[in-house]
Structure 1
Amino acid sequence: MARPLGFIHCGLADARAWDGLIDSLAMDVDPVLIELPGHGTAEDWDESRDFSDQAVEIALEALPPDPVPIIGHSLGAVIALRLAIEKFYRVSSLVMIEPVFFAAVKGTDVGDKAARDMASYKRKLGSGSPAMAARTFFELWGNGRPWDEIPEDIRRYMVDRIGLIEAGDVLLWEDRPELLRAGRLEEIDVPVTLVEGAKSHPVVPAIVDALGRRIKGAE
C-alpha cells in the first residue's frame, strides 16, 4: 500500500514543483500535495486573515487524519514546522528544505544581510513594478536559472503572485505564532531533517544551524 507523504511547496510555486522529487523516490508514496493560499489550485488568500493561519488550515484539510511525514521547502518548510509544533498529532516526521525562517537569526550579521538583500525586490514592488520585483526576487532565491530562460507562462505566474511574498513576513520575519518561544522547538518529538542547498543564500545555513541546535535529534 502506498504511504501518504505530505508536500508543501515554496512561495511563487505550486504542487508541480515536487514532480521531480516524487518521481525519484524509491518508495511507493501517495503524495498529498498541499498548495499555499493563492497558489496553484488553492483558494485565494483571504487578506483579512493571517496568511500562515490559512495555509495551516488548507494543510489540515488536505492531510489524512493519521500522522504522516511532511516535506516542506522554503516558506513551505516553515509552514510544515508550524504544523509539527501546533498540530503535532498530524505529523510523523518532518523534512525542512531551505527553511527561510528569518526570525531564527534576527539580529545577526547574516540575518541583516538577508533583510538588505530583500529590500530591492520590496522597493520595486512598492513602486508598482511587479514584473521587476518578481525578477529580482527570483534572482535572489531561485535555482540559478536565468529569468529570461524561464517559460513565459511560469514568469507570468510568479509576477501575478509576487505580492503574496510579503504576506508571509509576519511568520518568517516576525514569528507571530511564537514558534521560537522558549521550549517550543525543544518539544518537537518526531524525526526532523534539515536540508540546505549547495547554492542557498548564506542565511539558509545559519537558519538551519539555529533550528538544529534546538530541535532534539535533528539531522
Structure 2
Amino acid sequence: MNKPASLVPQPVFSRSFGKGQRQVLAVHCSLAHSGTWRGLATELSDEVTVTAFDMLHHGRSPNWDQRGDFQDRNVAAGQSLLTQPMDLIGHSFGATVALQMALRRPELVRSLTLIEPVFFAAAKNASLLFDLKEQNRPFTDALKAGEPMVAARLFNRMWSSGAPKWPDLPETTRAAMVRAIEIVPACDPAILTDRTGLLAPGGADGLVMATLLLHGADTNPVISAVNAGLLQHLPNASLAVIEGAGHMVPISHPAEVAAALRKFWNT
C-alpha cells in the first residue's frame, strides 16, 4: 500500500511491506528511500508489516521547503504514521529521527531500534569526531564548490561499505542521491549538538521502552562510540553487532539484522 502521509506541513510518501501482525515503522538513511527496507521486510514478511516513508528531499516525497528544522519536519512526518503502539526502527540519520519520535511520543513506541545512529553528539570522543570532520572535508568542499554530483559520490563512498559503489548504481539512483545531497548539511544541528537535551541529566528518562543499538562490526569507529554513549543514557538499552557488516548493514545484511530483531523482540 502506497500513500501520502497527511496532517503535516509537507505530506510525505509512505509504503508498506509484509503481512504480519506486528506493526513496524521504519525510517531510512540519508540519500536513500523507503524502498531500502524491502530486503529486511522480506526476511520478516510473515511476522511484521513494515510501514516506511520517504523523508523530505528523498524518494517520492517533496523537497524540504527550507522552513523550520529539517530533522523536526521529518519527525513530524513520521509521527503522522505513528497512529498506534509500534516497533520503531531507524537507520543512520533516520535513526536520529526515530530517536526524537520516541522522545516526543513514547507511549506509541513499543520498542526502539537504532541502526548505525549518526547522533555524533553522543560519541564524547574528540579524536574520533576530529577524524570524522577530516573524512567529511572532501564531501563538504565539493558541496561548497557547487559540485553536487561529486559530493554525492564522495559521501556514498564514505558511508556505503557493504553496498554497491557509485559506478555500479543505476542512473536513477545516482540522480536521487544528487538531489538529496544538498540537505545533508541541514542535518548538522541535530546530529552534532544535543539541541533537545536528550543527553542532559534526566533527558532520556522518558525513553523506558526496550531499545536496541545495532551497528556493523566494520563500520566507522565513531558509530561504535555513539552507541556506547547512548547505552549510558537510555534506561533500557542493549547492544548488538553484526559481524562482517558496515554502515549499510540493514541493506547489506538483512537476514542477520532480521535475526537480531527477532531476538530483541522476543527477549
Q: Give the equivalent residue in structure 2 for 1:85.
A: 103
C-alpha distance in 2 between matches for 1:21 and 1:63: 20
Hey, which bits of structure 1, 4+ residues long, moved more than 6 A?
none
Q: Aligned-pair RMSD on alpha carbons?
A: 1.5
Question: How many Å separate the matches in 2 of 1:130 and 1:187?
Answer: 40
Local SS of the residue matching 1:30 = strand
The equivalent residue for 2:198 is 179
Report whether the alignment pairs 1:151 with 2:170: yes
Matched, 1:21 2:40: yes
Q: Which runs of 5+ in 2 are unaligned?
A: 1-19, 239-267
- Is 1:133 the counterpart of 2:147? The answer is no
The question of whether the paired residues in 2 share the 8 Å contact of 1:103 and 1:175 is answered with yes
Query: 8 Å contact 1:5–1:32 — kept in the other structure?
Result: yes
Aligned length: 218
Aligned to 2:118: 100
Structure (1/2) with the larger helix percentage: 1
Instruction: Work out the percentage of aligned pairs sharing the same amino acid.
Output: 33
2 CA distance for matches of 1:209 and 1:136? 27
1:216, 1:57 → 2: CA distance?
Answer: 24
Contact persistence 1:37–1:45 (CA under 8 A): yes
User: Secondary structure of 1:203's match?
Assistant: helix
Is 1:71 matched up with 2:71? no
Residue 58 of structure 1 pairs with residue 77 of structure 2? yes
Give 1:152 shift: 1.5
State the Cα deviation string for residues 13-41 of structure 1 (Å, max 9, x = none): 00011000000016422211122111112
Q: Give the TM-score of the pair, scaled to structure 1.
A: 0.94
Question: Contact (CA 8 Å) 1:106, 1:112: kept in 2 or not?
Answer: no
> What's the CA shift string for 1:59-110, capped at 9, x where partnerless?
011222x221101000001111111112212211100000000111255211
Q: What is the alpha-carbon distance in structure 2 between the residues aligned to residue 206 and residue 217 of structure 1?
A: 18
CA contact (8 A) 1:15 1:34 kept: yes
- Please, what TM-score do these two structures have when normalized by structure 2? 0.77
Q: Which has the higher strand share?
A: 2
Q: Which residue of 1 aligns with 2:218?
A: 199
